Every structure is written in C-alpha cells, then in structure tokens.
C-alpha cells in the first residue's frame, strides 16, 4: 500500500455533552491510521462551546481561535445544552460555532446522506423506498444567509418585534454552486438546487446565478424546499447532489439523517478556500445521554474519514476508516441507538473500529 508521509496538526474541540466521548473514538481511529502509515497526527485539545464558557467565559476563546488558525484541520464533537440556555445570546455555545465557521471561512458544508446495508432496516422508510440504498450529498451554504444576516429585537413602547435577514451576495452563491458542481462531477452531473423561489428574492438570485456559473453539461433541477422535504422521504433515491442555503440545509439534513436509521451515523465536512476544514457529526451534544458511554460515535469517526480525504488528500486511508466502520456494523456490533437489545458501548465500538483498521492494513 502506498505510504503517506505527512505530519498534520489537528485541533480537537470536544465541546459539550457526548462530545468528549465520541471525539475520543474518532481520535482512536486516526491514531490507528497513523500507527499503520508514515503519517503522524498531532492532536491539540482546546475548550469550545459551553465547556469554554465555563472555563473562560466565552464559547470561542482566543487560544482556541489561535489553535484553529494554525491547525491543518479541526475535529469537533458537539456543543450546547440546557445548562447554557440562560446565557447572553452573544456568548451562547451555538454562537461560538457560528463564529468559528465564519472565522475559518468554511462556507461549504458537505453532509453525505448514506445508508449502510446493516442498518438500513432501522430506517423509518419502507424497504421498497430504500431500494439498493440511499446515497446523496447535501451541500449546505454555511457562512451566509439568515444565520449571519442582520438580526434584532425591538421593544418599543408601541410595539415589540424581531427580525432576521436572509441576505445572499453573488459571490457567496457562486462559490457554493461551484463546489456543488465539483461534487456533482464525481457523481452523475446532476444538481438539485433547493430554494423557495416562489416567495423569496434571495432564492430568485440563487436561480439567476446558477444559470451563470453552472456549466451546461450539468443538469440542474430546481426544487422548492417544501417539496424537497417531502421528496426526501418519498423518493430519496432521486437525489445525488443537493445544494441549498444555510438554513434550508440545516433543516433538510436533520430530516435526511433519519433515513439512515440513526442521526448518530452522519458525518460532515465544512470546507473553505484552502484545505483546512472543520469535521463534525451532524447531531447535537445529547446532554441526556452524556457521560454514559452509550452514544453512537459513527458520525464522528466518519467525520475523521472525511478529514483524511478533504484536508490531507488521504483517500485510501479515508476509505479504510469507512470500510472498518462498515465491517464492524456488518458483524452486528452496534451502539444502543441502533440495537437496543444487544449493544456495545461507545468506547467498545471505537475499539472494534480501531482493531478493524489494523486488520485491514494487515490483510492488504
Ligand atoms: C448544525 C447545528 C448548528 C447549525 C447549530 C448548533 C447552530 O444545528 O450544525 O446543524 O444550525 O448550524
Ligand atoms: Mn442542525
């Protein structure tokens, strides 16, 4: 097998709730890769989210920022929890995440929605709908739109109101559509643009710009978001590359995640102009099961696999992690969310994946 000889600096942000538990298993997988290759990883752990509010009074403190700036890639668990619901909105854990995405410039969020053979029976969708499996990618714009537009609550003597602005600039739309085009080129040259162009000006702009930047040999389907949310459960196999705004992508990716049987399974990569990316599962911090060693680490382990592929150009090693996860699941080894009667713990699952990585190398 071809050896990769890099040395990479990974800033690790465990975050809150189940964050530390799931991140530990992804680190194990990366360690197993480094033990079997010439590539070395330096892990630099920093406080982030609620944990950073507790230790330093803000969710994205200065030294975490510096560590993210100097990193080759960022591995993130999850953030937030009831504990910080009462804090000032400007320093909520979520604000730290949004600030980091903006600061690192990761405008493109890739969320692959993929069923595994061994868990597809857990999908709430009928077998006839799943067919041979679902495999599409949601390309979510991540640093613009309503998340970052002007927002305000006005409490005046005669009225109380609030607003959040959905703003998209041409360059923001162009670059995300270009990324979607690259992704589509690796699949079937088809892009579904999800919007609400029957109501929103910003959506109309997306459509206009799509006609300018997406080459003619790419087939573009336009779909309203309300219809898309229905089609995702009615006939998910019709999608390969879906591109959409920040908020629509947030909502649709949670919806799509349940197709795979558990929201715990899905990874994501947030990418910008250079190779630095933020890699995190799409699920939240699940404070209700934190500290019990029962969370599903698959989404985070697969996020580490995405890191190898997109930030370090280690496609082979990335596939090894994916195959290891798949092999372990195929043996019926699952966490409680997937197999409530007969399950392994978070750390046992991670150990199995790591062991499997060693044996894949041994047999290659
Ligand atoms: C996600 C999360 C975040 C988002 C929250 C925590 C701000 O739901 O990554 O999908 O809405 O982007
Ligand atoms: Mn979300």
What is the number of the ligand closest to the CA of 49? 1
Cα-to-centroid distance, 60 and ligand 1 (Å): 15
pLDDT score for 275: 93
What is the number of the ligand closest to the CA of 299? 1
Burial of residue 350 (number of CB atoms within 10 Å: 0-12, 13-18, 19+) = buried
Q: Please answer whether residues 123 and 261 qualify as being in contact, where contact means their C-beta atoms are separated by less than 8 angstroms.
A: yes
The answer to whether the CB of 97 is under 6 A from ligand 1 is: yes
Question: Tens digit of pLDDT for each residue in 85-99?
Answer: 999 989 999 999 999
Is 362 designated active site? no
Atom of ligand 1 nearest to the CA of 98: 7
Question: Residue 4 above 60 pLDDT?
Answer: no
Is 107 designated active site? no
Q: Please answer whether residues 272 and 314 qualify as being in contact, where contact means their C-beta atoms are separated by less than 8 angstroms.
A: no
Range list of β-strands (E), the chain:
7-15, 40-46, 73-78, 108-114, 135-141, 151-156, 159-164, 190-195, 219-224, 241-244, 269-271, 277-279
The answer to whether the CB of 94 is under 6 A from ligand 1 is: yes
Question: Residue 268 above 50 pLDDT?
Answer: yes
Question: Residue 73 above 60 pLDDT?
Answer: yes
- Choosing from 46, 196, 276, 309, the catalytic residue is 196
Using CA positions, which residue lies closest to atom 6 of ligand 1? 94
* 261/318: higher pLDDT: 318
Question: Residue 71 above 50 pLDDT?
Answer: yes
CA 143 to chain centre: 14
Cα-to-centroid distance, 58 and ligand 1 (Å): 18
Atom of ligand 1 nearest to the CA of 253: 10
**Rounded to an integer, what distance in angstroms lies between the CA atom of residue 304 and that of residue 182?**
21
Atom of ligand 1 nearest to the CA of 101: 12
Question: Residue 280 above 50 pLDDT?
Answer: yes
Atom of ligand 1 nearest to the CA of 142: 12
Report, as an integer, the average pLDDT of 267-274. 96
For 115-139, give the DSSP string: --GGGGGGSSS-HHHHTT--EEEEE
pTM score: 0.95
Is 250 designated active site? yes
Question: Residue 3 above 50 pLDDT?
Answer: no
The answer to whether the CB of 76 is under 6 A from ligand 1 is: no
pLDDT score for 5: 67
Residues 6+ apart with CB under 8 A from 49: 13, 15, 16, 19, 59, 78, 79, 80, 93, 96, 97, 285
pLDDT score for 154: 97
| Mean pLDDT, the chain, integer | 96
Best mutation site among 15, 284, 299 for ligand 1 pocket (most ligand atoms within 8 Å of CB):
284
Question: Residue 2 above 50 pLDDT?
Answer: no
pLDDT score for 200: 98
Q: Residue 204: how many CA atoms within 13 Å on its side-chain side?
A: 4
Report, as an integer, the average pLDDT of 227-237. 97
Using CA positions, which residue lies closest to atom 5 of ligand 1? 94
**Rounded to an integer, what distance in angstroms lies between the CA atom of residue 108 and that of residue 139?**
7
Report, as an integer, the average pLDDT of 128-151. 96
Report, as an integer, the average pLDDT of 230-250. 98
Nearest alpha carbon to residue 166 among 200, 206, 204? 200
Is 196 designated active site? yes
Instruction: Kindly tell me the sign of the dihedral angle through the C-alpha atoms of 300, 302, 306, 311.
Output: positive
pLDDT score for 165: 98
38 pLDDT band, cuts 50/70/90, is very high
Nearest alpha carbon to residue 306 among 278, 282, 286? 278
Calculate what percentage of the chain has a pLDDT beyond 90.
Answer: 96
Domains of the chain and CATH, by start? 1-110+262-364 (3.40.718.10), 124-259 (3.40.718.10)
Tokens for 240, please give them: 């390969």
Question: Residue 222 above 80 pLDDT?
Answer: yes
Using CA positions, which residue lies closest to atom 11 of ligand 1? 250
**Rounded to an integer, what distance in angstroms lies between the CA atom of residue 312 and that of residue 8?**
8
For 232, list phi and psi in degrees, rounded to 5.
-60, -35
Residues in the chain: 364
Question: Tens digit of pLDDT for each residue in 293-336?
Answer: 999 999 999 999 999 999 999 999 999 999 999 999 999 999 99
pLDDT score for 283: 93
């Amino acid at each position: 097998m071809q050896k990769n000889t890099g040395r990479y600096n990974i800033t690790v942000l465990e975050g809150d709730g189940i964050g530390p538990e799931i991140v530990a298993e992804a680190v194990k997988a990366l360690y197993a890769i480094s033990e079997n290759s010439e590539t070395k990883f330096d892990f630099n752990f920093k406080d982030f989210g609620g944990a950073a509010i507790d230790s330093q009074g803000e969710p994205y403190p200065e030294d975490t920022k510096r560590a993210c700036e100097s990193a080759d890639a960022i591995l993130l668990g999850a953030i937030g929890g009831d504990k910080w619901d009462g804090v000032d909105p400007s320093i909520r854990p979520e604000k730290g995440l949004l600030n980091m995405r903006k600061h690192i410039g990761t405008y493109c969020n890739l969320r692959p929605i993929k069923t595994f053979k061994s868990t597809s029976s857990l999908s709430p969708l009928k077998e006839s709908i799943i067919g041979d499996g679902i495999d599409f990618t949601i390309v979510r714009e991540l640093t613009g739109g309503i998340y970052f537009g002007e927002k305000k609550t006005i409490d005046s003597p005669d009225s109380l109101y609030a607003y959040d602005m959905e703003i998209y600039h041409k360059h923001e739309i162009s670059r995300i559509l270009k990324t979607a085009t690259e992704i589509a080129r690796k699949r079937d040259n088809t892009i579904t643009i999800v919007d609400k162009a029957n109501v929103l000006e910003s959506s109309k702009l997306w459509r206009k710009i799509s006609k300018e930047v997406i080459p003619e040999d790419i087939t573009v389907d336009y779909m309203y978001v309300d219809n898309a949310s229905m089609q995702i459960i009615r006939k998910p196999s019709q999608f390969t590359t879906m591109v959409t705004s920040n908020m629509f992508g947030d909502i649709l990716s949670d919806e799509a995640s349940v197709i795979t049987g558990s929201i715990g399974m899905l990874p994501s990569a947030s990418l910008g102009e250079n190779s630095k990316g933020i890699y995190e599962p799409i699920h939240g911090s699940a404070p209700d099961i934190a500290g019990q060693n029962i969370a599903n680490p698959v989404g985070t382990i697969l996020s580490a696999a995405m890191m190898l592929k997109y930030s370090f150009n280690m496609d082979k090693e990335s596939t090894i992690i994916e195959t290891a996860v798949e092999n372990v699941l195929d043996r019926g080894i699952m966490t409680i969310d997937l197999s409530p009667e007969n399950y392994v713990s978070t750390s046992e699952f991670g150990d199995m994946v790591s062991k499997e990585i060693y044996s894949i190398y041994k047999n290659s």
